[in-house]
Structure formats: structure tokens, C-alpha cells
Amino acid sequence: EDQVTQSPEALRLQEGESSSLNCSYTVSGLRGLFWYRQDPGKGPEFLFTLYSAGEEKEKERLKATLTKKESFLHITAPKPEDSATYLCAAAGEKLTFGTGTRLTIIP
């Protein structure tokens, strides 16, 4: 059975304090690893797709990386508006979501 595990469950950072979110996956026939941002009460917003180990994608203060077993979402010098839940999902037979990391950036 496909599994996706995210850590930490919650993370509080000071504004400007860089950190990384982890996504570990066990998926048969991985077709892609996706990162989403979700604000409370709203639908997930697509951020990145990663297809192969070693691949990196960047968008503003966010950078996503992929290995054969994990993906990381690095956030550099975060701002309060980066506060959200970040979801990782792996596409195998279907899309399997992790439980998310709730990120809070304190001004």
C-alpha cells in the first residue's frame, strides 16, 4: 500500500528563519511527487511537480527537491504570508496525500 508521511506535523518559525519540511514516501511506480499549499477552508493550491530523483523546482521563497525516498520543501527567509498547511502527495495508482505540515511564520 502506498504511504506518504510528512514531518514535522507543525512548525513555528520567526520571520526570516529558514527551514525545511520533509515528505517521505513509499509508492509503487511513482509517476510524480506534488507539493500543495492549503489555506484554512480553501482548496489546495498547486506548487510543484517533481518527477525524478535529483530534480529541483523553485518559486519565490520555496524550493522543492526529490530523492528516491524523500522530498523536501525548503523555505528561505519566510514571511507571515507563507503561513499555511503544506501538503505533499505522491502519484502511484492514485494520488496519496500526506497529513501535511502546518507552518506558522511569526512576525
Partner 1 sequence: DTEVTQTPKHLVMGMTNKKSLKCEQHMGHRAMYWYKQKAKKPPELMFVYSYEKLSINESVPSRFSPECPNSSLLNLHLHALQPEDSALYLCASSLVDEQYFGPGTRLTVT
Binding site for partner 1 (CB under 8 A): 31-32, 34, 36, 41-46, 49, 87, 89, 91, 94-95, 97-100
- Residue 2 CA to residue 83 CA, distance in Å, equals 28
Beta bridge partners, 12, equal 104
> Scanning the structure block, which residue is given the C-alpha cell 530523492?
67
Nearest distance from C-beta of residue 63 to partner 1, angstroms: 18
Measured from the CB atom, is 26 or 76 closer to partner 1? 26
Measured from the CB atom, is 65 or 101 closer to partner 1? 101
Nearest distance from C-beta of residue 76 to partner 1, angstroms: 24
In one letter, which amino acid is 30?
L
- Residue 65 CA to residue 94 CA, distance in Å, equals 21
Nearest distance from C-beta of residue 67 to partner 1, angstroms: 19
Measured from the CB atom, is 17 or 58 closer to partner 1? 58
Measured from the CB atom, is 75 or 89 closer to partner 1? 89
Residues with Cβ within 8 Å of 3's Cβ and at least 6 positions away in sequence, in order, are 25, 26, 27, 96
CB 36 within 8 A of CB 89: yes
Nearest distance from C-beta of residue 29 to partner 1, angstroms: 11
